Amino acid sequence: MSQAGEALPAIPFGLIASVGSVGTQTVPVVRQIVRAPSATATEAELVSAVLSQAATELAPDEAAVVDPHSPCSWGKCRGFTVRKLHAAGVPRWVSRVPRNFTARRGAPPEYGGKGRRPSRGVLVRPLARTRKGQTLPATPPDRTETLLFAGRSIQADIWNELCLPQAEAAASAFQCVVFRDPAYSEPWVLATTLVLPAAELLAFYHERWPIEQVPLTAKQLIGAQRQFVFADEARQRLPELALFAGSLLMYLAATHPAQPTGFWDRAARPTAGRLRRVLAQLDISKTAPLPWQLRKKKSVTDHLPKGIQAHRRSARPIEARV
Asked if residue 178 is part of any domain, the answer here is yes
The mean pLDDT of 26-43, rounded to a whole number, is 88
Q: What is the pLDDT of residues 210-254, one digit of tens each?
A: 888 898 898 888 888 777 788 888 888 998 999 999 999 999 999
Asked if residue 167 is part of any domain, the answer here is yes
Asked if residue 257 is part of any domain, the answer here is no
Q: Are 117 and 130 in contact (CB under 8 A)?
A: no
Q: Are 136 and 130 in contact (CB under 8 A)?
A: yes
Q: What is the DSSP string of 163-201?
A: E-TT--S-S--EEEEEEE-TTSSS-EEEEES----HHHH
Residue 226: enclosing H or E segment and its boundaries? none
CA distance 127 to 130: 10
- Domain containing residue 143: 100-110+120-186
Residue 2 has pLDDT above 80, yes or no: no
pLDDT, position 6: 58
Q: Are 75 and 15 in contact (CB under 8 A)?
A: yes
pLDDT band at 196 (very low <50, low <70, confident <90, very high): confident
Residue 316 has pLDDT above 80, yes or no: no
pLDDT, position 144: 94
The mean pLDDT of 47-68, rounded to a whole number, is 89
How are beta strands 93-96 and 64-66 bridged, if at all? parallel
* pTM for the model: 0.77
Residue 204 has pLDDT above 60, yes or no: yes
Asked if residue 139 is part of any domain, the answer here is yes
Please, which residues have CB within 8 angstroms of residue 212's CB and are 6 or more apart in sequence?
70, 76
Domain count, the chain: 1
Asked if residue 223 is part of any domain, the answer here is no
Asked if residue 179 is part of any domain, the answer here is yes
